[in-house]
Structure 1
Amino acid sequence: MTLSHDVAGDGPVLVLLHSGVCDRRMWDAQWPALIDAGYRLVRCDLRGFGETPAPDRPHSDAEDVLALLDSLGIAQAALVGSSYGGQVALEIAARWPDRVSAIGLICSALPGHEPSAELRALGEREEALIEAGDIVGATELMVETWLGPDADETAREAVRQMQRHAFELQLAAAEEFEPVEAVVDLAAIQAPCLVLSGAHDLADFRQIAARLPHLLANADHVELPWAGHLPSLERPSAVTDLLIGFLKERVPVG
């Protein structure tokens, strides 16, 4: 199965990987600016999000993304991942380091991370609402949890629509299949990495961001004092500028 995706632009390839409460539409604000900056963009919906059907068997999101790049004839790309998309980017870079030229991580999750009591409690509240049939309540819980104080109503409505659609798509599946997480060695990652975190994010993700420069060979961490968990939606132009500044140094165009 090929992931639903968009491709546009010319130049070095940049792959955008969405968070676990969004789909590929979360990059709408960055899309034209990154094309104008000289990159060929690929964005996709992982299984069970956006226009990609929910999985009907065990699967690997990292392998799905790599298969998409193979189908497009892309040998190497820079990866930008938000939250769970960042975890997928890290897995790809660790398992196939020669395929990755640079990595941008935005409030990234981390392979093998043990969730805190706070994060587990959030998951239990979400599950209880879903089991009670309160999809609206579960959606609002995600909107309120993951967007920071700078998010306007446009960003909130975008997350609301993407998360609600993901819930409906996944709940309609005959059986639930979680993605298979590979055990990876982050020391294998050689690509330069920009790590962005939000001062208003949950502690798990702030701690992951602080750890990553010690786990990766070439990573810089920048905490955004205004941001929650989804800064690319909260202040789109600010995050776009940071990404372009990083990429221009690491993956020059022309």
Structure 2
Amino acid sequence: MTLSHDVAGDGPVLVLLHSGVCDRRMWDAQWPALADAGYRLVRCDFRGFGGTPAPDGPYSDADDVLALLDSLGIGQAALVAASSGGRVALEIAARRPERVTALALLCSALPGHAPTDELRAFGQREDALIEAGDIAGAVELNLDTWLGPDADLATREAVRGMQRHAFDVQLAAPEEFGPVRAEFELSAIQAPCLAVSGAHDVTDFRQIAGELPELLADARHVELPWAGHLPGLERPAAVTELLVGFLDTVLQKV
């Protein structure tokens, strides 16, 4: 099964990995700007999101992404990832360090992270709403939790549509399959990493971004004082500028 995806542009390859609230459309604002900046872009939908069907058996998001890159003839790429997409990016970079040229992680999840009470309470509330059949309520809970104060009505509507579609696809699946967890060490990652956090985000993701410079060989942390959990949607131009500045430098385009 090949992940639903888009390809555009020419130059060093960037692979854009979406959050668990969204799908590959979350990169719409960055897509033309990064292509114009001189990059070849790939963005994909994980299983159960966007245009990719829900899983029909055990699977690995990391293996799915690597298989997609193989099918496109891409040997190396920089990974730009948001939230749970960041966990996938870290797994790829740890298991196949020779294939990853850089990591730009926006409010990333972390393999093995023990959730705080705050994050557990969110999960319990979401589960309760879904079990009660209040899917619209679960969508609104996600919007209120993950979008920061700079998210405008159009952004909220876009995220609302992506999250609702993900719930509809995943809940309609005849059986639920979780991802297969591989064993790997983050210390194997050699690619330079930019770890971005948002001052209005849930505590867990601020902690993770702050910890990554201690866990990786070459990482730096930047906190955006205006951002929630999805800064690329909240202030697209500012995040594009941050990404291009980092990537141009570490990929030696300047």
Structure-2-length-normalised TM-score: 0.99
Conserved in 2, the CA contact under 8 Å of 1:104 and 1:243? yes
SS state at 1:210 partner: helix
In the other structure, the counterpart of 1:173 is 173
Q: Distance in 1 between matches of 2:147 and 2:164?
A: 15
Asked whether the 8 Å contact 1:12–1:253 carries over to 2, the reply is: no
Does the CA-based 8 Å contact 1:187-1:216 persist in structure 2?
Answer: yes
Deviations 1:222-247 (A, max 9, x none): 00000000000000000000000000
Once residues 159 and 44 of structure 2 are traced to their aligned partners in structure 1, the CA distance between those partners, rounded to angstroms, is 16
The question of whether the paired residues in 2 share the 8 Å contact of 1:4 and 1:45 is answered with yes
Aligned residues: 254
- Shift of residue 253, structure 1, vs aligned partner: 4.1
Match of 2:182 in 1: 182
Q: Secondary structure at the match of 2:156?
A: helix
Contact between 1:111 and 1:181, CA under 8 Å: does it hold in 2? no
Structure 1 distance, partners of 2:77, 2:232, is 20
Q: CA shift at 1:252, angstroms? A: 3.4
- 1:115 aligns with 115
Query: How far apart, in 2, do the equivalents of 1:137 and 1:131 lie?
Result: 11
Q: Following superposition, which runs of at least 4 residues in structure 1 exceed 3 angstroms of deviation?
A: none
- TM-score for both structures, normalised by structure 1: 0.99
1:47 paired residue number: 47
CA distance in 2: counterparts of 1:186 and 1:238, whole angstroms: 29
SS of 1:221 mapped into structure 2: strand
List alignment gaps of at least 5 residues for structure 2: none
Whether 1:200 aligns to 2:200 is yes
CA RMSD in angstroms comes to 0.8
Deviates more, 1:115-124 or 1:36-45: 115-124
| Distance apart, 1:250 and its partner CA | 1.0
| Counterpart in the other structure of 1:71 | 71
1:91 aligns with 91
CA-to-aligned-CA distance 1:13-51 (integer Å, 9 cap, x gap): 000000000000000000000000000000000000000
1:125 aligned residue: 125
Q: Distance in 1 between matches of 2:36 and 2:104?
A: 18
Report percent identity of matched pairs.
76
Amino acid aligned to 1:93: A
